Amino acid sequence: MAIRTILHYPDKRLREKGRQVTAFTPELQALIDDMAETMYAAPGVGLAATQIGEALQLFIVDVAAEDEPSDLRVFINPEIVERHETVTWPEGCLSFPGINEDIDRAARITVRALDRNGDPFELEAEELLAVAIQHEYDHLQGVLMIDHLGALKKRLVSRKMQKRAEASV
């Protein structure tokens, strides 16, 4: 396992849509393990493959509290099939370090995906798990947290991230 580099906005690769996963190879299993190690080290509750420069329809989520055992979930080729009600949730993103904004999301969702072995599953989620799934799903579509903000907040966050990127060069 290895910790991968997380791409930060405004890196253009964050806008790439993930390709469908068609083969459940040892390389895919290693990628999932690397993603988990990277997410936990960051630390975060979710990570999409696109955030580490792998344009695949794959993300992981673990919303277990610090005092609870890990509840790592792997979503491959996911599809959100139902959305119910709306909730405003404070969100952060590993690709937007230091940024936290209130984002409107569905309060409850149903998602269909494949697990790390290629077995299909369907999951009904609410609260933080639903929000995390929607956030990571967006990454696979090339949609970022900033896209859910109003024009003024979007400009402010974009400027802050641009300055951060220029300072790290």
Q: What CATH number is attached to the domain comprising 83?
A: 3.90.45.10
| pLDDT (tens digit per residue) in 125-164 | 999 999 999 999 999 999 999 999 999 999 999 999 999 8
Candidates 104, 14, 99; CA nearest to 51 is 14
In a domain, 6, yes or no: no
Instruction: Answer for the pair 134, 109: CB distance below 8 angstroms, yes or no.
Output: yes
- Which H, E and C letters describe 60-79, residue by residue? EECCCCCCCCCCCEEEEEEE
| Domain count within the chain | 1
Active site residues: 136
In a domain, 4, yes or no: no
In this predicted structure, what is the pLDDT of residue 56? Answer: 98
| pLDDT (tens digit per residue) in 3-46 | 999 999 999 999 999 999 999 999 999 999 999 999 999 999 99
Instruction: Please give the model's pTM, rounded to 2 decimal places.
Output: 0.96
In a domain, 153, yes or no: yes
Instruction: Answer for the pair 145, 96: CB distance below 8 angstroms, yes or no.
Output: yes
